Every structure is written in C-alpha cells, then in structure tokens.
Amino acid sequence: MKAAVIVFPGSNRERDAVAALERASGTKPHLVWHRDTELPDVDLVVVPGGFSYGDYLRSGAMAAHSPIMRAVKAKAERGLRVLGICNGFQIVTEAGLLPGALMRNAALKFVCRTVHLRVENTDSAFTGKYRKGQIVRYPVAHHDGNYWADAETVKRLEGEGRVAFRYVSDSGADDPLWNPNGSVAGIAGIFNETRTVLGLMPHPEDAVDPLHGNLDGKPLFDGLVEALS
C-alpha cells in the first residue's frame, strides 16, 4: 500500500501517522506539504491531527482551502481512500468531503484521555479487520471534537451505515456520560457515501505500539494494507 500524509503548518501527528503506516505496510509513506498542488501516486491519503494554521478562524477551515486539499478532494471524488484523523477530520469536513461540523467540546475544555468506541460498521477498507460491535480504546486530544449535523443528516448517516465509530461506556453501552465532547448521537467517526473517506476524532495511530500501552488501532492500519495492496 502506497500512502501519503499531508503536512500543514501546525500539524503535529504526521509522524505518528507515518510510523503507524510504515509499521503496517513496511513502506515509508510520502510526506506532502500543504502548498503542493499534486499528490504522488498513492492508494491512501492521511490528513493527520494537529493545529493546522493554529486553529485560527475555525479548526480545519483554513487548511481545507490549501492547494493540496484541492488535489485531495478531486481524487477523493474519484474514489481515493482518505483518512482524516482529529484535525484531519475537521479539515476533510470543512473541505466538504464529509457532512456536518466539529464544534467546540460541550464542556468548553480540551479533552486528553482514552475513550471507548464501538465499531459500528465493518464494511469498509478502514474497519474490515474489526468485529461489528467490537469495543476498542483509542486516545483523544482535542478542543473541537463535538460532532454536529442536523437531525435529517444524522438519520441518513445512521440509515446508510455511515457511522463508523461511536463513543460508548467501558461496557459498550450507549451512555452520554462517556461522550467526551458532546457529539450528537455519540458519533466519533463517519464515512462518506461510498465509505472511501473516513473522518474520526480519536487517534488510532497512537494505539499501534506496545509502548502506547494499547494496540486497538492496529487492525485499522492492517485492514487498509490488506484492502489496498
């Protein structure tokens, strides 16, 4: 699997994404600067976490209009797999590849901890190596992770199997007390219509190494390698 990781001024998880991809695929991904206008020939683009453009204006809003995002958008519309993690989720959503918006966390505080997620749909290159309903633990670190979409959009996402991950309790139950940011319906990650684009707030790339104390993110990267090689 050939992959590219996009770097914006203020990105800070690009190296984590590179390490996770290299560990899973054995191939070093390309790092692509935000000012570039073309993507290398790849099977997957990762838009990583961080604070692109200092989160000015709105998290992800400026990065969504960078030259490289025009190329990412054009190729995503033709089926290129795109994984947007945390700030990357904000960026691909601002770019219009996913519906809804990421608002300030409901408690108005930065949240940095491990969360429990239920894998809601395994019919994608991203989630194919999980079991449906499996509970996984990924870390979160954000202040704008409160996913919002209008009721009709949420209904459509649910009906079309486009909710990828949902915040749940440690026993796997729907429980708003375990929702770290107030996201509507506990939504932690969503797919586009063809499930070729995934955006999620938690960080699978920081749960792939025994030193992370948690390997729950590994099936996501292994699954991508299996599906895209």
Ligand X SMILES: NC(=O)CC[C@H](N)C(=O)O
Sign of CA dihedral 127, 193, 190, 8: positive
Sign of CA dihedral 171, 175, 181, 185: positive
How far apart are CB 96 and ligand X at their closest, in Å?
19
Identify which range of 22-30, 138-146, 149-157, 170-178 contacts ligand X by CB under 6 A.
Answer: 138-146
Is 83:47 a contact under the CB 8 Å cutoff? yes
Q: Which of 14, 94, 120, 205 is catalytic?
A: 205
Active site residue 86: yes
Residues 164-223 close enough to bind ligand X by CB under 6 A? none
One residue of 142, 162, 195, 218 binding ligand X per CB under 6 A: 142
Q: Annotate 106-150 with DSSP letters as a single string.
A: TTSS-EEEEEEEEE----STTTTTSPTT-EEEEEEEES--EEE--
Is 198:139 a contact under the CB 8 Å cutoff? no
Q: Which of 116, 142, 203, 212 is catalytic?
A: 203
**36, 71, 77, 164 from 149: Cα distances, Å:** 31, 26, 21, 15
How far apart are CB 140 and ligand X at their closest, in Å?
8
- What's the CA gap between 78 and 208, in Å, rounded? 30
One residue of 14, 16, 55, 205 binding ligand X per CB under 6 A: 55
Q: In the bound complex, which residue of the shown chain has the CB atom lying closest to ligand X? A: 49
How far apart are CB 160 and ligand X at their closest, in Å?
26
Give the phi and the psi of residue 132 in degrees, each rounded to 5: -60, 130
Active site residue 112: no
How far apart are CB 212 and ligand X at their closest, in Å?
15
Residues 68-127 close enough to bind ligand X by CB under 6 A? 86-87
Instruction: Name the residues annotated as catalytic.
Output: 86, 203, 205
Residues within the interface to ligand X (CB under 6 A): 49-51, 55, 59, 86-87, 141-145
